[in-house]
Amino acid sequence: MVNLVALQMTSTPDVDENLDTVAQALAHADIANDSVVVLPECFACFGTKDGELLSVAEPKDSGKIQKRLSALAKQYQCYIVSGTFPMQTSDDSKFSAACLLFGPNGETLADYRKIHLFDVSVNDNTGSYKESRFTQPGEQVVVAQTPIGNIGLAVCYDVRFPGLFTAMGDIDILVLPAAFTQKTGEAHWHTLVKARAIEKQCYVVAANQTGVHQNGRETFGHSLIVSPWGETLAELPTDKGVIQARVDTSRRQAIQQNMPVAEHNRFRSHFV
């Protein structure tokens, strides 16, 4: 059995405040040593100008964000998915949106950098989004092999690109930190998250930002935990807080045997 946990936040520009929010949420949740805790995208700093995130960016394996999450994973003997936070790159004008997986001993087990950047126009009070201005896209598909199963890592806008998930091969759990906008969320969030669970025949833990942030950006909330059959196991509409679901990942085997989608797939990514 695995305890899947998603933390829904209304993150602020204050890194320390957001880290304290995570610590307080874990203290009040039922976090066992078989838990996978997923934080939302931009959990550590949100609601400010994108360029200001450069001042928050940390080098790999150093900095208060990574240190605090590592300590929390070790304290609770659980897995923590870092949502995203800005990581320094070789280009001083850009950071990467880093999504790290911390193990129960506090070690970094996986390092995914968001591949698909949100350069779109949305009919909301922000209007135009251009992540690529200050964010360097990642290039690597990342799956972590752990004692509780294979965990695939993706972030927000990635969910619209099914080729990424085909490239992951067989995964037991897909973690999806997000900061879906209110407009795109109400139109597509549930459909996309459930589609990825159904096509991959895996559990999905999708942790989203919620509410109105300091810069006026509106996020959708509705963090979800979805089964390999597409069932909603837990959902938090718009409040801040935690959802969780205890699951038996071996359930996937029966679904895969009865409907061997991966075996039948005639269109395979060149990554697999």
Cα separation, 192 vs 82, whole angstroms: 21
Is the Cβ–Cβ distance between 183 and 124 less than 8 Å?
yes
* List 94, 114, 194, 200, catalytic entry: 114
Cα separation, 208 vs 183, whole angstroms: 14
b/e per residue, 70-90, with b = 16+ CB within 10 A? bebbbebebbbbbbbbbbbbe
Q: Give CA separation, 9 vs 12, 126, 181, 241, in Å.
A: 9, 19, 14, 7
Residue 114 annotated to the active site: yes
Cα separation, 83 vs 87, whole angstroms: 12
**How many CB atoms are located within 10 Å of the residue 231 CB?**
11
* List 156, 200, 202, 218, catalytic entry: 156
Is the Cβ–Cβ distance between 80 and 54 less than 8 Å?
no
Q: Both tokens of residue 13?
A: 């520009």
* List 41, 58, 131, 218, catalytic entry: 41
Helix, coil or strand: residue 88: strand
Q: Give CA separation, 66 vs 51, 84, 249, in Å.
A: 21, 11, 28
**How many CB atoms are located within 10 Å of the residue 110 CB?**
20
Catalytic residue numbers, as ranges = 41, 114, 156
